Each structure stands twice: as C-alpha cells, then as structure tokens.
Structure 1
C-alpha cells in the first residue's frame, strides 16, 4: 500500500508545494498531490503552479499573515529553482 509520503515522492513536487496547491484550491492533501502531479508534467503546468503559489503569497499578505507569506516565498523560490524555464 502506498502512503501519502510515497505519493508525494512520486509527484515530483515537495510536500510544501503540495500544501500550497491544497491551500489555494481548498483540497485535501491527497487530491492536491494528484492535481500537482498532473500540472507539473503538463506543458504549462509549472507556470500554473508558480501562479498558485504567488496567489497564496498575496492572499497571506492581504490577510495579515506575513510569516506565512515568507514561508510561501521560500517554497516559490525552491520551485522556480527546480523549474528554471519559468
């Protein structure tokens, strides 16, 4: 049986990136893993994931959550580093 950690490892995304997708789309983590995996392998998917994380950062800032916005900025920086074509 696969665990959630196994599924995340197979998705080519980090747990933090999956969490950002789940937050943005209001999805359970496992559904976010599936969506993220599909997106990261689609032609315009990495660009869409980066937009999702940017939206989460803007939302955190607008709701007075600067620490969360900073955490998400680190997630975005890592994602962009692994997907330089963005």
Structure 2
C-alpha cells in the first residue's frame, strides 16, 4: 500500500501545490495529486494550476487569512519557477 508521502514523491508538484489543488477543487490530497499530473500534461492545465492558486489567494485575502495568503504566495512563487505559464503564440 502506498503512503501519502509515496504519492507526493511521485508527483511533479510539491506538497503545497497539491494542497492548493485539493483546497480549490475540494478533493482529498491523493486525488488532487492525480489531478496535478493530468493538469501538468497540457499548457491549458498548467494555466489552470496557476489560476487555482491565485483564486485560493483571493479567497484567503477576502477572508482576512493573511497567514494563508503568505503560504499561497510562496507556493505560487515555486509554481512559477518550476512550471511557468506557457507562452501563447
């Protein structure tokens, strides 16, 4: 049986990014990890990942959860470095 860490180790995203997907889509972490791999497979999916984290930031900001905003900012910075938005020609 795979542990959650095994699942996360398999993914091309880090735990914070997968947690952000789970939060945005209201999914268990393991399902969000699977979804992350599907999304990374297309330029449109990468754009969706960026949008999810930005939307989570907006919600946290609206809720006054400044700590969560900071966490998501770090997560988004990592995503931008490792999976930048595709250039649309």
Which TM-score applies when normalising by structure 1? Answer: 0.92
The question of 1:50 aligning with 2:64 is answered: no
- Paired residue for 2:65? 65
The question of 1:80 aligning with 2:80 is answered: yes
- Paired residue for 2:39? 39
- Paired residue for 1:3? 3
- Paired residue for 1:18? 18
Q: Cα deviation per residue 1:14-60 (whole Å; 9 max; x = unaligned)?
A: 00000000000111111111111111122311111010000000000
Give the Cα separation in 2 of the matches to 1:26 and 1:85.
Answer: 24
Which TM-score applies when normalising by structure 2? Answer: 0.89
Give the Cα separation in 1 of the matches to 2:71 and 2:36.
Answer: 19
SS in 2 for 1:84: coil
Contact 2:16 2:75 in 1 (8 A): yes
SS in 1 for 2:43: coil
Runs of 5+ consecutive residues of structure 2 not aligned to the other structure: none
